[in-house]
Amino acid sequence: MSNELDPKPAASQPMIYQIRLKGHLGRQWMNWFDELTVTLEEDGNTLLSGPVVDQSALHGILKKIRDLGMPLLSVNVVDSNQGTQADTDQVKDKL
């Protein structure tokens, strides 16, 4: 029996992330995050979600967010078996 509560994903399988930003991302910047789904939420925040291949790619995304000057609210790993929770009461804008 293993003592691990959360097994690590296979190295070849990208992790699914949800990154929440304060404010709506302007349309001119949405293509900058083409690998992620951009969801403009009704509460005025932006949710970026999708697979991120490794930590280097995650840091690249976070650097883009920093360069935009948008406040970062949260970064969460989503269990790929549960899918994303971005389906309820949100305005979706997929490019």
Query: Do the domain assignments include residue 53?
Result: yes
Taking the CB of residue 9, how many other CB atoms lie within 10 A of it?
13
Contact between residue 46 and residue 20 where contact means Cβ atoms under 8 Å apart = yes
Q: Which pLDDT score is estimated for 70?
A: 95
Q: Using one digit for the tens of pLDDT, what is the confidence trace for 41-62?
A: 999 999 999 999 999 999 999 9
Quote the Cα angle for 92-17-74, to 5°.
Answer: 85
- For the chain, 95 residues long, give each residue's pLDDT as a single digit of tens: 555 555 555 567 889 999 999 999 999 998 898 889 999 999 999 999 999 999 999 999 999 999 999 999 999 999 766 544 444 333 333 33
The residue segments making up the domain with residue 76 are 25-81
10 inside domain = no
Backbone φ and ψ for 61, nearest 5 degrees, come out as: -65, -45
Counted domains in the chain: 1
Report if residue 74 sits inside a domain: yes
For residues 45 and 22, is the Cβ–Cβ distance under 8 A?
yes
Q: What value, to the nearest 5°, has the Cα angle with vertex 14 and ends 11 and 15?
A: 105
